[in-house]
Amino acid sequence: MRIDVVFGATSLTPALVSGRVVAVIDVLRASTSIAAALANGARTIIPLDSIDEVITRAKAFDRSEVRLAGERKMLPISGFDLGNSPSEFSREVVEGKTVLLTTTNGTSALVSVQGARDAVVAAYVNFSAVLALLGTALRGGADVTLLCAGRDRQLALEDAACAGRYALQLRARAEEAEMSDGAAACALIATQYEGRLEEMLEASEHGRALRDAGFQRDLADCAAIDAYPVVPIYQDRQITRLGPDRER
Ligand code: MLT
């Protein structure tokens, strides 16, 4: 059993996906917003690469059934219902709806994961729920890949720290699991910032850019451990909430 961390979808190889359990991490902010939407009753989330794809897919739905959501350069997309701030995905707005979502890094990372045994969306806000699923898979003999979406194809501090926290806690649950060097490096980063998540997000490049763009509140929302205790499963190119009707 192995725990690997991959930085950016372009570094993903078939061997790191095929038959594995893959967790896609985009703490700021796609993973967090997806968990918020599902916790608040969204029916399903369809991650899409481009704005045009969202507009085209929306035509297949009655307008009242869908929410068009996402960002470019962190800002809401003109004509869409929602940006990518977790707080926008409130129950009043998303309950029972299909969310068509496009973001700069997070949704393309998700879309790149094909052929995994299971693919889940992971963040701090759903940390324990996803950890339980990954821990069970690892103890059952599966290899786990933690895919950090990153920022503009570069390592993002917040995703590495979150991956490291998962790696550390998975290792505690399955001591015989082997960690890649990437996982071990992320574990060191996580240890450095344990108990200081908001501070870490404030210090990160992406966090500073969000603050400068007026999204300071999002940093606190994205640092709230277990605020949205859901397991978002990505299957058949859509994300739904793992629940009693959809056990693993
Ligand atoms: C992304 O997918 O790159 C992000 O979630 C960007 C953001 O909304 O801050």
Rounded distance between C-alpha atoms, residue 158 and residue 91, angstroms: 27
pLDDT of res. 14 = 94
Q: What is the pTM of this model?
A: 0.96
The pLDDT score that the predictor gives to residue 55 is 97
- The Cα 142–Cα 32 span in angstroms is 25
Give 149's DSSP letter. Answer: -
Report the pLDDT value the prediction gives residue 244, as an integer from 0 to 100.
Answer: 59
pLDDT at residue 52, as a whole number: 97
- Which of 7, 26, 51, 85, when mutated, tests ligand 1's pocket best, judged by the most ligand atoms within 8 Å of its CB? 26
For 110, phi then psi, to 5°, come to -60, -45
pLDDT for the residue 246: 55
- pLDDT, residue 42, reads 98
What values do phi and psi take at 194, rounded to 5?
-60, 130
Identify the burial level of 54 via C-beta atoms within 10 angstroms of its C-beta, where 0-12 means exposed, 13-18 middle and 19 or more buried.
buried
Q: 8: Cβ below 6 Å to ligand 1?
A: no
Low-confidence ranges of the chain (pLDDT < 50): none
Residues 6+ apart with CB under 8 A from 172: none
Provide φ and ψ at 80, rounded to 5°. Answer: -85, 160
Residues 6+ apart with CB under 8 A from 160: 5, 7, 148, 185, 186, 189
Ligand 1 lined by 72 (C-beta under 6 Å) = no
Predicted pLDDT at 197: 97
User: With a 6 A CB cut-off, is 70 part of the ligand 1 pocket?
Assistant: no
Q: What angle do CA 10, 118, 229 make, to 5 degrees?
A: 100
The confidence score (pLDDT) of residue 245 equals 53
Pocket test for ligand 1, best of 33, 103, 221 (most atoms within 8 A of CB): 103
What letter represents residue 246's amino acid?
A: R
Distance between CA 64 and CA 99 in Å, rounded?
11
